Structure 1
Amino acid sequence: MHLGMGKTTKLAGRYRLLDPLGGGVARPAFDELEHRDVTVRAVHVPPELRDAAVRDARRAIGLRHASIVGVLDVVVEKGEPWLVTESATGASLERTVLSRHPLPVLQAARVGVCVLSALLAAHAEGIVHGRVNPANVLLTSTGRALLSGFGFPDPGLSPASDLWSLAATLHFAVEGRPPGPAPVAGADPLRSLIRAMLDPAGPPPAEVVAETLDRLALDRSLDQVIASSGAVPIGQVVAIGLAVLDQLAAIHSRGRHHGAVHPGMVLLPAGGAPARLRSARVAGPPMPDYTAPEGVASQAADLWSLGATLFAAVEGRSPAPGAPLTRAGTLAPVLFRLLSGDPAQRGDLAELRQELLAVGAEAEGLRTGSR
């Protein structure tokens, strides 16, 4: 029995169609072997390309990611290839924008974070999506975006083409139209990023795109927090210090240094997640107040810059020379050590981590004891 004729009730002997007379590209089904809901989709290609299409589609079966609607199986029924994918609920970005309105920048950036993460996972496995568009992006009720459409024939495109298509999709999300020959103007960071990704010369490095989307979607930088709210509580400063210290440890373990640690490079994600240190690749011009006195980038200079950053967080102001510590409390000895003019006196990462943990435990004890 042929699915296209609307008569088949089961595909490959296990995928029972839940709406056998229905039409559309995607058909709901139930996997009787694994006892799960799935979706089946036809792969329409010329007969001479079917074997290659099936082979390419099967490469996507092992691709798993929280933002990917995964391919579970590829079957051939009466010579026609079919994809079996995870069942996912949500309205497409295309339908959402056309039926309602363009997305706010924050929501569009969050869509970008999810889709880019999915694409980078695919590219790491040598898989190019090739069909990134608003119809293949699903918006879930929990606020996540899912990328569907994996497993269809790849027309020989490169990973850079996926980034261009992501930019066009984000353009549609915020403007309600494709970019066309004249992408939208606008000085805000998301629109600036979209224009850069659509540049015929090629998109920025994926790492830069990810950093920018992360900042727009989920994070506020530490300097923004200080500017809007002033001094940060000691317990939170310690948590920031520990998170950045761990990331510096990973960098230093490779014999490298960061070279641009300052409050604008420390991102504070929503929901209490650990602080993240942005890549030095997206650093702006040097920040004198956060540059070690020796003036040479090094691992020891990273620690001085970390001390200056934590000083700014706990005091609510930049660490100008001679500025007193009035709010640091038990954190003060750690800051004095980090801000030493002698690089050898700044300690090693393991010692500093233990000192920060002790300060954090004391701060937590004081906080809970005062309730």
Structure 2
Amino acid sequence: MHLDRGGPRRLAGRYRLLDPLAAGPARPAFDEPGGREVTVMELRLPAESRAAALHRARAAAALRHPSIVRVLDVVTQDDVPWLVMEPVHGTALESAVGSRRPLPVVQAARAGVGVLGALTTAHAASYVHGNVDPGNVLLTARGRAMLTGFGLPSRSTWPSADLWSLGATLHFAVEGRPPGASPAAGPEPLRSLVRAMLNPSGPPPVEVIRETLERLAVDRPLDRLIEALGPLPPAEVAAIGLAVADRLRHGPGPHGGVHPGNVLVDDHGGATLLPSVRSGTPPAYAPPEGGPGPEADLWSLGATLYAALEGRPPAPGAPMTRAGALGPLLSGLLSPDPAARPSLEEVAAGLRAAGRRRGRGQDGAARGR
């Protein structure tokens, strides 16, 4: 680096450092020919590692995604490589959680959606980030999460390592601590997903991670909806049950994780059953015979619908006071005999019929008024 007489220092004759005496590797600068602010970062590396680092940095410059902090240029000054990056005005996730508190699940999921999108783009280009952590995730004032650290030497060469690190970063976001040897327990969908992403046998498929994060970013789990609103109307419960039954009918096999925390409901009442990510089923929603299987999913579906109707999970001898036309169907689903439970086709037909009866009753009441 050289010092212009009477002026500030520059990189490659074009990037003027705005604070040349600033500490730390990343510094604000101004691209004079381009007329734009940038951030520059010195790559402090042994001489024998510089050629590989330059190759990796130039590969990062080709990556484009709304949640990637772009590498704009790679320059060498006095045999030292520098990254030139777009400036991002935001707070590192590490600082945001450390100075305030863990993020709400919705905000953490939205951050996860952005970071996963950035990683998916990089992996498609055969580029492994290798440095995903709370310090490299920036939260902007508009709520977007940006992943920085592209172009830096990687600590790993495996895409699965990036997904593990994303899981650890999301754990920090909602728990305020690294996962360590004991990741956060609980049946909540995000924590279940995080534990699956941290599993030594490898993370779930990227499609499962993406769907779960995208749903959690906009929809509410059914158990939280019940807590907030109390028992739901039978027509709404029938619609939720129909959506869950449809997902079970078209799934690749037994689900093994049907419970209100795994059912997300949008603002229009539409429901989605999240994929099972090794989360298991809470005891209140596990069938009396134990063990996963199609009949177990049916019992868990009945217990989930019972909770939505009554505001509490089923218990031996507990009456159904709000089920109405859904009562016989729920009684069949909650039968202690797996062979006596209706099939998914029968469940779907019963839910559709209950919804139609409810709709005709509401129409008649409206005409009577």
TM bucket (normalised to shorter chain) is: 0.5 to 0.7
Question: 5+ unaligned residues in a row in structure 2: which ranges?
Answer: none
Residue 14 (structure 1) aligns with: none
1:39-78 matched pairs, under 5 angstroms: 39-61=39-61, 63=63, 68-77=67-76
1:257–1:3: structure 2 CA closer, same or farther, 3 Å change rule? farther
Q: Which amino acid aligns with 1:263?
A: P
Q: Which of 336, 341, 347 is residue 345 of structure 2 equivalent to?
A: 347
Q: Does 1:312 align with 2:307?
A: yes
Q: Is the CA contact (8 Å cut-off) linking 1:7 and 1:21 kept in structure 2?
A: no
1:282 is paired with a residue whose SS is coil
Q: Which amino acid aligns with 1:298?
A: G
Q: C-alpha separation between the residues in 1 aligned to 2:88 and 2:278? A: 36
The CA deviation at 1:283 is 1.4
Q: C-alpha separation between the residues in 1 aligned to 2:286 and 2:238? A: 18
Q: Does 1:282 align with 2:279?
A: yes
C-alpha RMSD of the superposition: 5.7
1:281 is paired with a residue whose SS is coil
Q: Is the CA contact (8 Å cut-off) linking 1:237 and 1:310 kept in structure 2?
A: yes
Identity %: 36
Residue 255 (structure 2) aligns with: 258
Q: C-alpha separation between the residues in 2 aligned to 1:260 and 1:169? A: 21
Q: Which amino acid aligns with 1:90?
A: G
Residue 231 (structure 1) aligns with: 231
Q: Work out the number of aligned pairs and report it.
A: 342
Q: C-alpha separation between the residues in 2 aligned to 1:129 and 1:248? A: 36
Q: Which of 6, 9, 12 is residue 9 of structure 2 equivalent to?
A: 6
2:10 is paired with a residue whose SS is coil
The CA deviation at 1:90 is 1.1
1:99-178 matched pairs, under 5 angstroms: 102-107=99-104, 110-111=107-108, 114=111, 118=115, 122=119, 125=124, 127-156=127-156, 159-160=160-161, 163=164, 167=168
Per-residue CA deviation, residues 275-294 of structure 1 (Å, 9 max, x unaligned), is 5436251115654x65287x
Q: Which amino acid aligns with 1:69?
A: I
Q: Is the CA contact (8 Å cut-off) linking 1:139 and 1:146 kept in structure 2?
A: yes
The CA deviation at 1:107 is 4.6
The CA deviation at 1:172 is 10
Q: Which amino acid aligns with 1:102?
A: S
Q: C-alpha separation between the residues in 1 aligned to 2:89 and 2:362? A: 42
The CA deviation at 1:56 is 1.9
Per-residue CA deviation, residues 96-141 of structure 1 (Å, 9 max, x unaligned), is 56xxx63323459945873587268627555443434554332322
The CA deviation at 1:149 is 1.1
Q: C-alpha separation between the residues in 2 aligned to 1:308 and 1:6? A: 69
Q: Which amino acid aligns with 1:75?
A: V
Q: C-alpha separation between the residues in 1 aligned to 2:345 and 2:170? A: 48
Provide TM-score, normalisation by structure 1: 0.61
Q: Does 1:291 align with 2:287?
A: yes
Q: C-alpha separation between the residues in 1 aligned to 2:353 and 2:37? A: 52
The CA deviation at 1:167 is 4.6
Q: C-alpha separation between the residues in 2 aligned to 1:138 and 1:146? A: 5
The CA deviation at 1:54 is 2.7
Residue 88 (structure 2) aligns with: 88
Q: Is the CA contact (8 Å cut-off) linking 1:43 and 1:80 kept in structure 2?
A: yes
1:184–1:263: structure 2 CA closer, same or farther, 3 Å change rule? closer
Q: Which amino acid aligns with 1:6?
A: R
The CA deviation at 1:258 is 0.9
1:116–1:349: structure 2 CA closer, same or farther, 3 Å change rule? same
Q: Which amino acid aligns with 2:309?
A: V
Per-residue CA deviation, residues 190-209 of structure 1 (Å, 9 max, x unaligned), is xxx8xx99xxx98685459x
Question: 5+ unaligned residues in a row in structure 1: which ranges?
Answer: 12-16
Q: C-alpha separation between the residues in 2 aligned to 1:142 and 1:274? A: 28
Q: C-alpha separation between the residues in 2 aligned to 1:184 and 1:239? A: 41
Q: Which amino acid aligns with 1:261?
A: V
1:263–1:6: structure 2 CA closer, same or farther, 3 Å change rule? same
1:139 is paired with a residue whose SS is strand
Q: Is the CA contact (8 Å cut-off) linking 2:325 and 2:354 kept in structure 1?
A: no
Q: Which amino acid aligns with 2:345?
A: G
Q: C-alpha separation between the residues in 2 aligned to 1:74 and 1:367? A: 69
Q: C-alpha separation between the residues in 2 aligned to 1:28 and 1:329? A: 68
